[in-house]
Structure 1
Amino acid sequence: MTPHINAAKEDIADIVLMPGDPYRAKWAAENFLTKPRLVNQVRGMLGFTGNYKDTEITIHGSGMGMPSLSIYVNELIKEYGAKTLIRIGSCGGMQKFVKIRDIILAQTASSTQTPSSTIFRELNFAPCADFDLLSAAAKASQDKKSKIHIGGIYSSDVFYDERPDLNEQMVRHGILGVEMEAAELYNLAARHGCRALAVLTVSDHLQTGEALPPEERQSSFGDMVEIALEAAISTK
């Protein structure tokens, strides 16, 4: 038990999927796990554990932003022994060829700063996904209807960004999408010898202004969840 997770140690699986939204965690657990049980609800951050194809899986919310995710990932790794952590969530598309509802497998995650910046100081550490997970996710995506993109994303601390010049540089350098958590997830996984990946559905587009309605953001991301689950169990 930790200040933010009141589950017993045996209630958290080695494999953890992490949406930002606790209600997306609930939806994913109810739709993809057999016999899901609620294992955490401290501060409204829901966590569920159940089985997917005979493998125990935990789906636990991370909250919005890298500081929030850092709390949960640190506790899941250090106190509960999580070994594989996969972010499942939404992102904003940055390239014109990336469309709403497409899925991005984040090979790398750039950022201006993360909670780990105090450790790295002058070092420009390059956080990246686990190669085996990334490869397995790419394979699992081959039979999905959603179009898949593999490449770099940008993790920002700012949702209402007023730096169009920075976004222009991200686009110029081939960044596929922007979200708010993956860079710190990859940092923490590298630090603690764990595996991490971010599988993201494009819910908004920075260039076209298109956006999914709120209700679809919560419950229409089935391909993303299934890709993450298949990648996790095929490489365990």
Structure 2
Amino acid sequence: MTVHIGAKPEDIAETVLMPGDPYRAKWAAETFLKDAKCVNEVRGMLGFTGTWNGNRVTIQGSGMGMPSLSIYANELMKDYNAQTLIRIGSCGAMQEDVKVRDVIIAMTATSLSTPSRGIFREINFAPCADYSLLEAAVTASRKRDVGTHVGGIYSSDVFYDERPDLTEQMMRHGILGVEMEAAELYNLAARHKRRALAVLTVSDHLITHEALPSDQREKTFGDMVEIALEAAFS
């Protein structure tokens, strides 16, 4: 048991999926895991452990933003020995050919700053996904009727962005989408020698301003979860 995760050590699996929304963690656990059990309710940040195809899996909410994710990822790695951590969540598309409902598999994660900035100091560390997970996720995505894109994403410090010049440069340099957590997850995984990946569903578009209605999200979010699970156990 840690400050933010009330589970016993044996309650957390070595493979952890991390949605930002704790209720998405609940939905994913009830939908995809067998015998899912709630193992964490501290501060309402729900976590569940069950099995998928006979493999133990924990789905733990991380909250919004890199500081929040950093808390949960640190505790999962250092106190619960989590070995594989996959962020599952939504993102905003930043390229014309990336469509709402598509899935982005994040190879790298650019950021303006992260909670790890104080460690790196003058170094511009380049956080990236674990290649074995990345390759397995791409393979899993090919089995599904969903548009899939592999490349760089942008992990932003803010949701309500007031830097259109920065967004323009991200688009200019081929960044596929924007979210708020993956860069720090990749930093921490590198530091603690763990495997990490982000598999994201495009829920809105920064260029076309299209947004996915809430009643149409479940199926595409399901593709994202299944891709993450298959990648973890390939």
Provide the TM-score with structure 1 as the length reference. Answer: 0.97
Cross-structure match for 1:166? 166
What CA distance in whole angstroms lies between the structure 1 residues aligned with 2:153 and 2:53? Answer: 30
In structure 1, the residue matched to 2:59 is: 59
Give the counterpart letter for 1:18 in structure 2.
Answer: M
Which residue in the other structure is 2:200 paired with?
200
Which runs of 5 or more structure 2 residues have no equivalent in the other structure?
none
Alpha carbons 2:201, 2:220 under 8 Å: kept: no
2:141 and 2:98 map into 1 onto residues whose CA distance is: 16
Cα pair 2:19 2:60 within 8 Å, conserved: yes
- Measured after TM superposition, the shift of residue 125 of structure 1 is 0.2
CA drift of 1:212 comes to: 1.5
Aligned counterpart, 1:128: 128
* 1:150-229 equivalences in 2 (<5 Å): 150-217=150-217, 220-229=220-229
Question: SS at 2:162's partner residue?
Answer: coil
Matched, 1:8 2:8: yes
Partners of 2:22 and 2:48 lie apart in 1 by: 10
**Which whole-Å deviations, capped at 9, do the CAs of 1:110-160 have from their partners, x for residues lacking one?**
000000000001100000000000000000011111100000000001100
For 2:221 and 2:155, the matched residues in 1 are separated by 20
Give the secondary structure class of the aligned counterpart of 2:6.
coil
CA deviation digits over 1:84-124, x for unaligned, max 9?
A: 00000000000000000000000000000000000001100
Regions of 4+ moved over 4 Å:
215-220
Partner of 1:33: 33
Q: CA deviation at 1:216?
A: 4.4
CA distance in 2, matches of 1:168, 1:162: 12
Q: Percent identity?
A: 72
SS in 1 for 2:104: strand
Take 2:139 and 2:212, find their aligned partners in 1: how far apart are those partners? 26
Is 2:20–2:89's contact at 8 Å kept on the other side of the alignment? Answer: yes
Aligned to 1:113: 113
Unaligned segments of structure 1, at least 5 residues: none
Structure 2 contact 91–177 (Cα < 8 Å) conserved: yes
Question: Using the alignment, how far apart are the partners of 1:89 and 1:217 within structure 2?
Answer: 11
Tell whether the 8 Å contact from 1:27 to 1:219 is kept in structure 2 after alignment.
no
**3-state SS, counterpart of residue 5 of structure 1:** coil
Q: Which shows bigger deviation, 206-215 or 16-25?
A: 206-215
Q: Give the letter for the 1:198 counterpart.
A: A
Is the CA contact 1:16–1:85 (under 8 Å) kept in the aligned structure 2? yes
Instruction: In structure 1, give the amino acid aligned to 2:90.
Output: S
Number of equivalences: 234
Deviation at 1:215, TM superposition (A): 4.8
CA distance in 1, matches of 2:135, 2:191: 21
Aligned residue type for 1:184:
E
Cα distance between partner residues in 2 of 1:144 and 1:219:
11
Distance 2:45 2:218 in 1: 15
